[in-house]
Structure 1
Amino acid sequence: MDFYQADPTLENYWRGVILFGRNVASYKFALAHALYEVDKSGSDLVTLEDLAVPFSRHLCEHLLHAPKQITSRGSQYLKACVQFNNGEISQDKLTETTVRLGFNNVIDAFHNVNQGEIEKRFFLDERKTHKGIRLTDNFYQLSERQQYQNLAFETKARWNLVEQAWAMGVSRNLVAVEFDEHNKLLFSRVNERRVDITSCRDSLNGYQKGRCFYCFKPISLIPGDAELADVDHFIPWSAREEVNNINGVWNLVLACKCCNRGVEGKSSHLPSRKLLQRLHVRNEYFIQSKLPLHETIVNQTGNQTTQRKHFLEKNWQAAKNNRLFHTWEPKAEGEATF
């Protein structure tokens, strides 16, 4: 897959799992969160019992606001999580049930993306010999990477997006993900009622590989961080009369503060055609990621790649012609990866 083959870092292989792996249940996201919480100073063997507490906690928390966490009709394991939430079973009983049922498929499937296994494994399955999984050097090296701090935010955002798509029934009701500029949130509408989904920053960051869309400088998702990403309109907001749905996900990118509002930054300029092609590549990552961003981009920009390219070109040209924008390009701060 070109997403991580173009930039084969450990964090991008991990993002491949989170953003592009098949979604038939949310267990993958719960396992990722459990792994984030593993004591990295201890043994590389993590027993299922040790994993069970954080794994089940994250699922139980999500079940409180999103009852649909799997695409099949029912699950004995999720039934136990609901019983725990209702105070009908104890933590010990939930842990025992998680060890027995919770990991049956997710450990086998975790590293599978696009009907094949990614090249970098983050753990080995040792359930038969040691009743757990063994973390690999890849996982420990990943935890030391600059981008590691962003991954939990990205995982939560992806989980929120997927469960909202399930809740709305994507096959029957096309999900339209919209942007609230004031609160920097993605939301959808259900029977005219607004439903907040997740942070826009957290949702977009993984698809940009944790870097500024324009200059490729590393950016952060941590509130208050000096490198906290800005959410920027690629085609400037001032062109909203010429460009329909300028707040659409197709036109939103994450940028460092220097590129977005620095002295030599984009400000109200129009990014160059070269950057328009980059936007197309980024949007095609949404297409590969499936629901609900796939459906949203198709709905906003077209069914076919050629239609989506034409959509971007048409709107870029309309903004340039009618607003007489000066085009702009950034000074590169990192190697281009998309």
Structure 2
Amino acid sequence: MTGSEFYRVEPTARSSWRLAVLMGANSRTYKFALGRALLDLARQGHAEVPLRDLAVPYAMSLVEHAAQAPQASERTPVGTADFLAVVAAESAESRRLGTPTDRLLDAAVRSLPAMVLRKFHNLRGIPELPHRFYEVTGSGGSAGGSGGPGRRIVRLTDDLHRVARSEQAVGLRAELGARWSIVENSFATGIGRSLIADGFTVDRATSALTDTQRRRSVAGVTEAVIGFQHGRCLTCGDDITPECRTVVDHVFPYALMKRYGSVSGWPGPDLDQLWNLAPAHETCNSAKSDRLPTDDELRRLARRNTAIMESPVPLKRTLQLTLEPPGNGRRPGGWPEFLREVSGLVS
């Protein structure tokens, strides 16, 4: 499922937002800091903000996260004049003050237009996101103009306000946080080494994704994958909103492994892994119990897993490992064919 196909399933501003946050490239984490600042400012009712005011929460988010994990891939060089170098140098004093130092704020104001503001709406595979969430105006006229960055205004669009005030707004912020944590973890362990090889496992007791190498919980399964389901329950297809009690459902019931294992051994894939786990309403999950998935549920699961595999590592690699048959071959039918094979084992 390409970005365009993901959007066609639900052509809304929320889907455009999820394309940017969940399926864009991640060489640094700037877009997550920008996304958090935009959501918060829109939720507070701002129609437009000076670039310098946007730079404050943007910079402080990076200060907060940089204290815990790297914010750039090891393949991305960070020189002494680089913005992340300034973040590192000014983070202790900024945390003490509770606001960016003058040096950090000036660096954020200078770097924002040419870096993340220019690139947030871009996505591999499609020319630009179907919705725009801000416009930069003022001296120079655009994010790439020649006017002084301190005189620029960031106008928050109606689409951003709709996203920030939607019934899924709390979930969207949680999705962004989970994605940020996943990317940080991939930087910390080194993209191209352990996570490429091993992906994530799932801690069944906590429903959390766990770094296979370091055995460290990274993010909750629900927060990590619900955006790829368009924020919807995989069982009924309706929105999951803050007032809904949510559980992580085994689409193919976990009881199958015990039932078949007690007779001749379960011949299928591990049902306790990410490919088979999906957020659902607690009421839907209770009603479903241990029944087999319906055709609609299998279609939604195949579509969800295909969307995850359009996102950057390591979630992509986690599902690739499941999809690869013995002998390192490839299933030409992808997830629909894989799920049909699993269904055939219990039909």
TM-score of Structure 1 vs Structure 2, range by shorter chain: 0.7 to 0.9
Shift, 1:169, TM fit: 2.6
- Looking at structure 1, the residues matched to 240 and 332 of structure 2 have their Cα atoms a distance apart, in angstroms, of 29
- Residue ranges of structure 2 left out of the alignment (5+ in a row): 142-150, 325-329
Of 167-176 and 282-291, deviating more is 167-176
- Does residue 318 of structure 2 align to residue 296 of structure 1? yes
- Looking at structure 2, the residues matched to 294 and 88 of structure 1 have their Cα atoms a distance apart, in angstroms, of 36
Indicate which of 133, 142, 145 corresponds to 2:154.
133
Match of 1:44 in 2: 47
Task: Output one character per residue of 1:214-256: Cα deviation in whole Å (capped at 9) or x when no partner.
Answer: 1112213x5xx4x032101111111224233222110011111
Match of 1:122 in 2: 133
Matches within 5 A, 1:1-338: 1-38=4-41, 43-70=46-73, 71-75=75-79, 76-87=82-93, 91-115=101-125, 116-126=127-137, 128-129=140-141, 130-173=151-194, 174=196, 175-190=198-213, 193-220=214-241, 222=242, 225=243, 227-240=244-257, 241=261, 242=266, 243-261=268-286, 265-302=287-324, 303-318=330-345, 320-321=346-347
Shift, 1:68, TM fit: 3.9
Q: SS of the counterpart of 2:333? A: helix
Contact in 2 for aligned 1:235/1:251 (Cα 8 Å): yes
Task: Output one character per residue of 1:35-64: Cα deviation in whole Å (capped at 9) or x when no partner.
Answer: 122165665222221111111111112112
Q: Which has the higher contact order (CA 8 A, sep 6+)?
A: 2
CA separation of 1:88/1:161 partners in 2, compared to 1, >3 Å: closer, same or farther?
Answer: closer
Indicate the percent of aligned positions where both proteins have the same amino acid: 30
- Looking at structure 1, the residues matched to 106 and 115 of structure 2 have their Cα atoms a distance apart, in angstroms, of 17
CA separation of 1:30/1:53 partners in 2, compared to 1, >3 Å: closer, same or farther?
Answer: same
Q: SS of the counterpart of 2:245? A: coil
Scaled by the length of structure 1, the TM-score of the pair is 0.85
CA separation of 1:43/1:250 partners in 2, compared to 1, >3 Å: closer, same or farther?
Answer: closer
Contact in 2 for aligned 1:122/1:139 (Cα 8 Å): yes
- Looking at structure 2, the residues matched to 309 and 42 of structure 1 have their Cα atoms a distance apart, in angstroms, of 43
Shift, 1:86, TM fit: 3.8
Letter in 1 for 2:249: D
Shift, 1:17, TM fit: 1.0
Scaled by the length of structure 2, the TM-score of the pair is 0.83
- Residue ranges of structure 1 left out of the alignment (5+ in a row): 322-338
Task: Output one character per residue of 1:279-328: Cα deviation in whole Å (capped at 9) or x when no partner.
Answer: 1111100111121111111111125552544432222222x25xxxxxxx
Q: SS of the counterpart of 1:212? A: coil
Contact in 2 for aligned 1:77/1:102 (Cα 8 Å): no
